[in-house]
Amino acid sequence: ARRGVYAMEQVATVPQAYLKRYFMRGVGRSAGYVKVKPILQENIRFQRFNLMDRFPWRDEMHIIFCRNVMIYFDRPTQEKLVNKFYDCLVQNGYLVIGHSESISSLDHRFRPVEATIFRK
């Protein structure tokens, strides 16, 4: 994911309009693959850090994917984490969690969009 290279099978469900706008098709040895265009890739940040530490940003993220992580934490820690995510997102930013997770029983400020998608 960090390299932005995906097999065509991995992006089969991505709408064609997005594929044309944000991906380049591979040729030669790279045939059958697509690569994220620089205009999109430069706006994506991958960062490894401890979720229990102070987050290094605030009001900067447009979307946070935290899938299949919170199931390993107790309820108070989940609540703390969800609210930290809220503080990191820009207004109307999104939090995406895993299908095996739920934040409905937690005290948080998100608005549900779908079962696993929430909006600030």
Compute the Cα dihedral for 103, 111, 85, 65 and give only its sign: positive
pTM of the model: 0.74
Task: Mark whether 34 and 65 lie in a shared domain.
Answer: no
- Residue 117 has φ and ψ, to the nearest 5°, of -125, 130
- The pLDDT, as a whole number, for residue 6 is 95
* Count of domains forming the chain: 2
**89 is in which domain, residue-wise?**
61-119
| pLDDT 10s digits, 28-80 | 999 999 999 999 898 888 888 899 998 888 888 899 999 999 999 999 999 99
22 within domain boundaries = yes
Kindly state the tokens that stand for 1.
């994911």
Compute the Cα dihedral for 42, 39, 95, 83 and give only its sign: positive
Reported as a pLDDT band with limits 50, 70 and 90, residue 99 is: very high
87 within domain boundaries = yes
Task: Mark whether 71 and 115 lie in a shared domain.
Answer: yes
54 within domain boundaries = no
